[in-house]
Every structure is written in C-alpha cells, then in structure tokens.
A = this chain, B = another copy of it.
Amino acid sequence: MLGRINHIAIAVPDIAAASATYRDTLGAKVSAPQLLPEHGVTVVFIELPNTKVELLEPLGDASPISAFLAKNPDGGMHHICYEVDDLMAARDRLIEAGARVLGNGEPKIGAHGKPVLFLHPKDFFGTLIELEQSADVSTAV
C-alpha cells in the first residue's frame, strides 16, 4: 500500500530563518515561500535528489501546526507523507484495521492539489502520517 515518500514536513517558527539555514549552511536547494491560506501554512520546498522536505510556518489564526509549535517552540519533524495508488481503498483498509482517519474521514485537497488523508499518530507509534493519492492513477483502477 505505502508507495514513495512524497515529503517529510518540518514545522518551524520562522520560515525565513529556516530557509536561510537550509540554503546557506546545509547547501540545499530551497524554493521561494508559498502562502497557502486555505491550509493555514506558508511552505517552502527543499528539493533533494529522491524526495523533498517541506518547511511549514503557521499562517493565520487557525493554523493546523500552531499547537505543535506551542509544544515544540524550536520546531520539529511534523509528519511524513506517503503516496498511495488508491486513496479510497487505503482509507477503507485502514478503517477496517481499526486505524483512525482524522477529520470526517473524507479526503481533502492537499497542498499539492491532490486528495490527502491524515492518520491518527496514536495508531502509528507517535508519527503523523499523511497519505496522498499518487499521480499515477492508472494503477488505481
């Protein structure tokens, strides 16, 4: 079921400072910041040869990462996003196995414009897992 890792998300309190550190100190390729008010975050992509890291900074009053940063003021690893061929089949299998899908259980359109779901970290050993519908829908039929 789990496909490639689409991204690892890291929440940071200051995305400009974090971008500078990844670019200048770690020598990584860092994108310009994108404001995604509908997701409550500003995001920067760090492109690695095999996957990407996303830096997230809260945007607006109801950011989904505000509580995490209140607990982890320095920032920290927030979630891992895996691609799956068939998001609805994955959801049904997970619910049948007793795992909790966050929200109302219906996929939302994620920051990359594809359907996503989040799984409860308590069911996965403290890791918040995002599942994203893979681009290759041919295998999902």
Contacts and interface: CB of A to CB of B under 8 A. Distances in A.
A97 B24 contact: yes
B53 A26 contact: no
Counting chain B CB atoms within 10 Å of each CB, the highest count among A25, A75, A94 belongs to A25
Given A27-B1, A125-B21, A126-B74, A50 B53 contact: no
B125 A18 contact: yes
6 contacts: A1-B27, A4-B50, A8-B8, A51-B51, A74-B121, A75-B126
Interface of A: 1-5, 8, 10, 12-13, 17-18, 21-22, 24-28, 46, 48-51, 53, 55, 72, 74-77, 80, 82, 93-94, 97, 99, 121-127, 129
